[in-house]
Structure formats: structure tokens, C-alpha cells
A and B are shown apart, each in its own frame.
Chain A
Amino acid sequence: RKEVEQDPGPFNVPEGATVAFNCTYSNSASQSFFWYRQDCRKEPKLLMSVYSSGNEDGRFTAQLNRASQYISLLIRDSKLSDSATYLCVVTRNFGNEKLTFGTGTRLTIIP
């Protein structure tokens, strides 16, 4: 079983719709959680950290469920510019902060 699992998609969503992704992780000792987005042939860019209490940044909401070991990302009022691959990332070790990446969920927003 992979340490971090995501539905690869693709998700094809009309502009203005709400879309949600889930990500599961296998190591209950995981400490920190992030969502990154990656555009085609570009580097991953940090979208947001994920906190136990849930957090929101504009149209984006991230939630963490430690008991079930999953992380979610909700995008409201989706824009064409949201088209990208979304990477779920967890860390296990404090100090070295070695990241473990999911393989990503591909999102395409349709006009």
C-alpha cells in the first residue's frame, strides 16, 4: 500500500462548480500535511498547509481527519486557472521534514 494515496482523476469540472479531492495516508505518525498544486511541466507550488482544525484560504478549504487518516481539499467557484494537478503531501519526521507525496489528482476546469 502506498503511504499517500490519491484518486488520479482526471476530474473535469465546469467553471463555477465546487470540486473536492480526498487523500489518504497510511502512517498514523504523520505530523504535517500540505496541498501543493503543479502546473504542466512546472514545479510543485505550495497551495496550503492543512491543520487539524481545518483551514480556509479564499475559495480553498482544507480539512484533516486524523482518526480516519485522510485529508481533503475543497475548491469553490472553480476558475479556469484552477486547472492543475493537486498533490497531497505528508511528513513523518520532525527535523528533517522529509515529504511523502501522493501521485496527484488532475483537475481540468471546463469553460
Chain B
Amino acid sequence: DAGITQSPRHKVTETGTPVTLRCHQTENHRYMYWYRQDPGHGLRLIHYSYGVKDTDKGEVSDGYSVSRSKTEDFLLTLESATSSQTSVYFCAIRETGKDNEQFFGPGTRLTVL
């Protein structure tokens, strides 16, 4: 158990509304990631963070922003949700070690109507 929680776990919202997803970790990991998973695409990286206030874009960052004001929290914001952002969102942390494996939170299922 990598000590990662995500909230909310499920959310239904309407097009045009802002949405913020939270990822919380308890083990002081430096690297954190946000992915989305859609049928036929596998998991795709949205944004990642390599420290407090240090973030960078992934391959599908359009329409998303992130913030990391504390080591333990990494927030993903959809400024104006669209139906194409209906997806399952996973947060991950990277352990520092021989293989630098990533471990995932339980996911947030987001539906944009």
C-alpha cells in the first residue's frame, strides 16, 4: 500500500463547470502524476510534479491544470469540463529506488454530461 488516496471517487458534473480532483499521499514522495484512462488508449499522462510548486505537462494536458502547494497533495483542475473529459483519472507516485516504480491511487470516475 503506497498510501495514496483520491477524492472524490465518483463525480458527475455538467459541461462548463469547474472540477477539482485531489490526490493525497502520506509517504512524502517527491514525484506525483495524473493519468487518465480511456478505452482503446491505455493510461495517458496529463501532468506530473517533481516537487512543491514544480509541475510539467504530459501528453494530454490541454484543458487541465495542476497545483502542488504541499508535498502530500496534488490537485488536478478541469477549468471548464467537457464531455471529452469523461474518464477515469488515476494519480500515481514514484518511489525512489532501484526501479523507480510508480504506484497508483484507486482512481476517480468522472462523468461530464
- Interface residues of chain A, those whose CB is within 8 Å of chain B, are 4, 32, 34, 42-46, 49, 87, 91, 96-99, 101-104
Contacts and interface: CB of A to CB of B under 8 A. Distances in A.
A49 B33 CA distance: 19
A46 B101 contact: yes
Interface of A is mostly: strand
Residue from the set B48, B94, B104, B106 with the largest chain A CB neighbour count within 10 Å: B104
Contact of B101 (A34, A87, A96, A101): A34
Interface of B: 31, 33, 40-45, 48, 50, 56, 58, 90, 94, 99-107
9 contacts: A4-B42, A32-B99, A43-B104, A44-B43, A91-B100, A96-B50, A98-B48, A101-B44, A103-B41
Nearest to A44: B104
Given A43-B106, A44-B104, A45-B104, A103 B58 contact: no
Report the 6 A-B pairs with minimum CB-CB distance, sorted nearest first.
Answer: A101-B42, A43-B104, A101-B43, A103-B42, A49-B99, A97-B100
Nearest to B91: A43
B56 A96 contact: yes
Contacts of B33: 98-99
Contacts of B58: 98
Contacts of A96: 31, 48, 50, 56
